[in-house]
Structure 1
Amino acid sequence: MNIKSSKTLVTEALSEIKTISPDEALSMMNEDKCNLIDIRDIRELERDGRVENSNHIPRGMLEFWLDPDSPYFKDGKLDMNKEIVLFCAGGMRSALAAKTLKDMGFEKVSHIDGGFGAIRNSKFKIV
């Protein structure tokens, strides 16, 4: 059996998606140009805190909550005219998730380099 490693999948995703810094994401958020989405598990949010004004969509539900044909679609949760900016704890899950959203047809998608770890060291407010 010849399977791709998770590292290979992340490397491939990073070559295809837009990666932005926490500062770029904060500017976009302050200018109301993006949907900031935290895809970490709820236990991570409870343990480490949340980014103020971010939306929480667990990684396991992302595709279903954003697919208008899915019974789990969250209509009105996001402004689909704005860029979708994803982050996780360190940047690997969000890279894979951003690639998946691109594969679904979303055009304005990016992820934050370094994830929540980098965000915590930026000017974002953690609540």
Structure 2
Amino acid sequence: MAQKITKSAKDIVKHALSSVTAISAEDALAQANSPDHVFVDLRDGAEQAKTGIIAGAVASSRGMMEFHIDPESPAHKPEFNLDKTFVFYCASGGRSALAAMVAMDMGLSPVLNMTGGVAAWKKAGGTLT
């Protein structure tokens, strides 16, 4: 008997996008140097290496994010202990919305999802290093 998939990836991303507070790339750009914000790149390492990341961002691939957030994990990244606003982003905004929803479920707060991801960031005049 074949699997019966009841929710599509598109459905799950749509739910995540409606569950997480969004920030436009333009508004995120204005916060890029803010000491109150931590940008988190959820793309995989190959994508990050190919295009670069936002200066100062935490590289945390979607597959490792939960382990990076969890202070009990050997893979924990101390940037997630900071009392700051976390701005999650990926290539276009879908993976980061999923990650942001899970991060909020884990207790990380506040978390924002950058609408349009790296593509919107570049269009708004943002650079990657």
- Global fold match (TM > 0.5): yes
CA 25–93 in structure 1, closer or farther in 2 if over 3 Å, else same: same
- Partner AA of 1:103 in structure 2: D
Q: Deviations over 1:63-103 (max 9, x none)?
A: 1111112222123x345210111100010000100100111
Unpaired runs of 5+ residues, structure 2, are: none
**Alignment TM-score, normalising by the size of structure 1:** 0.90
Distance 1:41 1:118 in 2: 18
Which residue is 1:32 aligned to?
A: 35
Which residue is 1:121 aligned to?
A: 123
**Alignment TM-score, normalising by the size of structure 2:** 0.89
Which residue is 1:111 aligned to?
A: 113
What is the Cα-based RMSD across aligned positions, in Å? 1.5
SS of the equivalent of 1:86 reads strand
Unpaired runs of 5+ residues, structure 1, are: none
Q: Deviations over 1:14-48 (max 9, x none)?
A: 11111101121122232222110111111112222
Which residue is 1:92 aligned to?
A: 94
The answer to whether the Cα contact below 8 Å between 2:39 and 2:54 also exists between their aligned partners in 1 is: no
Identity in percent: 36
The answer to whether the Cα contact below 8 Å between 2:16 and 2:101 also exists between their aligned partners in 1 is: yes
